[in-house]
Amino acid sequence: MIKRIKKSNSKIVIVVSVLIMTLMVAGVFSETYAQEPYDSIGQYKKIQSTEAGVNNYIKESRAKNALLSKDKMTKISTTITFSKPLTDQELIAYIKTHHIDAVQIQARALQDETRISVSTIYGEGFDTVSKQQLEKYPNSFFIGYTDIYAKIDYSNIEGIQKDKRTFIIDCSADEYFEGAKEKDGDKRNKHRKGNNRYAHSLTWMLEDLGAMPCKP
Amino acid sequence: MRKDKKMLVIMALALTIAALNTLPVHATETAGPSKTWSYYTYEHGSYVPLSGRMNSTFYNVSTKDYFITNVTFSLSNYNVIKIKDYNNGGDNPGEVADGKNCYFTLDVSSKSDSTDDKVEVTSIASTLPNPKYDIEDDNWDNDPEESEVVALGTVSATSYKMTTYWHDFRTGYSGDSGRINAQFSMSAKGFFDYNNVVQSDVLQASFPFGDYSGRP
């Protein structure tokens, strides 16, 4: 009798587990693909590499940022491209002023005419680490920090946007734009992986257009 | 008189501490393993450089040990034609990449001899055009063990370099050892992330590291 109960119990557990897993997978897919799935590189490639194209992209981004502000989203997946390369101290002050949770910072260095792009996880000693690698690039020199991957709160968007050191705040990678509406970005942005977590910065494009000073 | 002596000792001590703090952090530099590859044909991928090298330098520092891996390679005219073909999407070599815009990708990752990575990617640098960097934790142990660069710009038949800065937390425990691998691929947007759509069937370079930090 006990054996029979145990057997039927284990069957129920298996059926319920399969049901739960099916529902979870279905939930993930319906939530993620309710709209066009995000593609950080595909989106970047669609931007016209002209002054008008960049201005248009800024306009689109601002409209998206306004939606995030209206709905009071926090920990928004953000890529900020600076209007000029920043020094160590300028970057630290910028992050502090705008209460930015910095994740990864990008920097520009030059070796003759060749651009060296450096990307470092933000944390204690980020400045030393960013520069130590340049020892492997003879005769190179550090220009400054050009863009940043970060998490920001809606309440700081306006301040960052008004800062003259900001060229663009690009929040397009946030899953809010695929229908995820949790206020907390850590819960909202749970499907993004790898190179798709943050929008690609406009640094290289701006340098090509002569809008970002590449030389000191 | 005694008080004066005491003050002198305190001042001397303070000066010594201050002087020690201004001294540069002492680092012992050791050349680590180096591995080259050389192919006669493009059998490992039309986008794979025929030759290249990955070397390493280990730093034993009083504050935090680290090492830097350095991959150098040259793209041929043939590589460039094929990579541009992949970039454009459409009919790509093979079938899996058809209709996808694929981008030239280099992964440098560590493979630990245990389940816990003791070396962590902290920073990446390269001379590749318009790179998008990903510092990734692929095995879910909260330590990033993969450095990936995807070149969004147009590559040329010239030499390129990618360096990875690894923080070194090895303690001498058996299993802290592992390998560093370098491998080329062409990646495109998958479900959640950018995935290697086609990847070289072999590692281009691979070498081991031991159990102790600050040394190969």
Chain B residues near residue A40 by CB distance under 8 angstroms = 132, 194
Q: Do A129 and B122 touch (CB under 8 A)?
A: yes
Spatial neighbors of B166 by CB under 8 A, at least 6 apart, are B66, B67, B68, B69, B110, B119, B120, B121, B122
Residue pair B108/B101 in contact by the 8 Å Cβ criterion: no
Chain A residues near residue B127 by CB distance under 8 angstroms = 111, 114-116, 137
Tens of pLDDT, residues A160-203: 999 999 999 999 999 999 999 999 999 999 887 777 789 999 99
Give chain B's domain count.
1
Spatial neighbors of B142 by CB under 8 A, at least 6 apart, are none
Q: Do B127 and A45 touch (CB under 8 A)?
A: no
3-state SS track over B128-181: CCCEEEEEECCCCCCCCCEEEEEECCCCCCCEEEEEEEEEECCECCCCCCEEEE
Nearest to A130 by CA among A177, A76, A85: A85
pLDDT of residue B20: 47
Nearest to B102 by CA among B10, B204, B184, B7: B184
Residue A27: which pLDDT band, with cuts at 50, 70 and 90?
very low
The reply to whether B14 falls in a domain is no
Q: Do B193 and A106 touch (CB under 8 A)?
A: no
- Please tell me the distance from the alpha carbon of residue B28 to that of residue B59, in angstroms, as a whole number: 6
Residue pair B108/B188 in contact by the 8 Å Cβ criterion: no
Q: For residue B107, what are the domain limits?
A: 26-209
- Please tell me the distance from the alpha carbon of residue A99 to that of residue A122, in angstroms, as a whole number: 14
- Please tell me the distance from the alpha carbon of residue B199 to that of residue B182, in angstroms, as a whole number: 11
User: Quick one: CA dihedral A143, A79, A96, A129, positive or negative?
Assistant: negative
- Please tell me the distance from the alpha carbon of residue A9 to that of residue B133, in angstroms, as a whole number: 50
Residue pair A172/A39 in contact by the 8 Å Cβ criterion: no
Task: Considering only the beta carbons, identify the residue of B70, B123, B194 that sits closest to A195.
Answer: B194
Q: If you measure CA to CA, which chain B residue comes closest to A196? A: B193
A 10 A CB-CB count for A37 gives 15
Is pLDDT at A57 greater than 70 in this prediction? yes
Task: Considering only the beta carbons, identify the residue of B70, B128, B189 that sits closest to A41.
Answer: B189
Tens of pLDDT, residues A115-171: 999 999 999 999 999 999 999 999 999 999 999 999 999 999 999 999 999 999 999
The reply to whether B176 falls in a domain is yes
Residue pair B56/B180 in contact by the 8 Å Cβ criterion: yes
| Mean pLDDT per 10-residue segment, chain B (216 residues) | 66 57 67 97 97 97 92 98 92 80 95 90 97 80 83 97 96 94 90 75 97 95
Chain B residues near residue A32 by CB distance under 8 angstroms = 192
Which of A19-28, A100-109, B55-64 has the lowest average pLDDT? A19-28
pTM for the complete prediction? 0.85
Tell me the longest C-alpha to C-alpha distance in chain A: 84
pLDDT of residue B97: 82
Size of the A and B interface in Cβ pairs below 8 Å? 105
Q: Kindly state the tokens that stand for B191.
A: 């479900």
Q: Do A119 and B125 touch (CB under 8 A)?
A: yes
- By the 10 Å C-beta count (0-12 exposed, 13-18 middle, 19+ buried), A130 is classed as buried
Q: Kindly state the tokens that stand for A92.
A: 């630290």
Provide the CATH number for the domain around residue B54: 2.60.40.1170
Nearest to B187 by CA among B132, B134, B150, B152: B150
Backbone angles phi, psi at B52, to 5 degrees: 180, -175
Q: Do B135 and A195 touch (CB under 8 A)?
A: no
Amino acid at A148: I
Q: Tell me which of A7 and A95 has the higher pLDDT.
A: A95
